[in-house]
Amino acid sequence: MSHRRSQFFSLAAIATLSLALVGVSNSNAQEPDGPQIVAPAPVRPVLKPVYASQTGESKFITLPSGTRVAVVLENGISTRSAKAGDSVYLRTSFPITQNNQIVVPIGSYLRGELMDSKRPGRIKGKGEFRIRLDTLILPNGYTVNMNAAPRSADSGGKETMDSEGKVTGPGGKGKDVETIATTTVTGAGIGAIADGAKGAGIGAGIGAVGGLAATLLTRGPEAELPRGSTLDVVLEHDLQLDAGQINYRDLGQAMPITPQPYRPQ
């Protein structure tokens, strides 16, 4: 009787343990409704390709090579004192426009320098100097590098200018002949007073020698561009200007007038 009772309790214990194991398995299969302890895996963002803008709008205004700029000289130049490296200052006297807009207004400044300078010789050789322009300053202070040379100049004298900005002074042959002739006549007059016709001849010879000596001791005419000379400058390369800087005020105001070139007689 006791043996059957022990078998009964053993079977009951096994059944109870089996039910307990099934309950634990079911509880693990279902997620609790409470807060989760472990955070879910992050969702990776989807990357989209980025394309560059295709508008292609230009931000520059280009003044093409060959553009002419009318300017006035602000400081006089003479081979008597000029030397290579000296600064040259000019100011625009006529506006430059593009697409009905003023790009370079009157009163803009240009700066350059003398590349070389040579005085006229005592016997031969003319005075000459060469100008190059390298900086443009607009009225609002916007400054750009440029490459330009004057092609012509109106200075009120007999100077000439070539396509590279070289100014050449007039020759002095006519003045030399005049000097010799004047001293010859003067010497002849003095000789005639002193000793008649014979003295006139001697005096003329002495005067001619004196005139020749004076010619050899003096230089020919200096090459000069007085302050106020007008020049025609030509761009040798395209000049790009920042369109955002092309904004001016009071363009209608009168600019101070540079006096006309003055040449002492």
Mean pLDDT, the chain, as a whole number?
74
Please compute the mean of the pLDDT values over residues 145-165 and round it to a whole number. 88
pLDDT in tens, 240-258: 999 989 887 766 665 665 6
- Written as one string, the DSSP assignment of the chain is -HHHHHHHHHHHHHHHHHHHHHHHHHHHHSPPSS--SSPPPPPPPPP------------EEEEPTT-EEEEEESS-EETTT--TT-EEEEEE-S-EEETTEEEE-TT-EEEEEEEEEEPPPSSS---EEEEEEEEEE-TTS-EEEEEEEEEEEE-SSS-EE-TTSEEEPPP-HHHHHHHHHHHHHHHHHHHHHHHHHHHHHHHHHHHHHHHHHHHHHS--PPPEE-TT-EEEEEESS-EEEEGGG---S-TTSPPPPPPPP----
Q: What integer pLDDT is reported at residue 18 of this predicted model?
A: 59
The predicted pLDDT at position 143 comes to 96
Question: What are the tens digits of pLDDT across the range 23-62?
Answer: 545 555 455 555 555 656 666 555 444 333 334 455 899 9
171 confidence band (pLDDT: 50, 70, 90) = confident
User: What's the pLDDT score for residue 172?
Assistant: 57
Q: For residue range 182-204, what is the model confidence (pLDDT) as tens digits?
A: 544 454 444 445 555 554 455 44
Instruction: Specify the higher pLDDT residue, 186 or 109.
Output: 109
**Can you give the pLDDT at residue 157?**
81
Q: How confident is the model at residue 156 (pLDDT cuts 50, 70, 90)?
A: confident
pLDDT over threshold 60, residue 120? yes
Give pTM, 2 decimals.
0.59
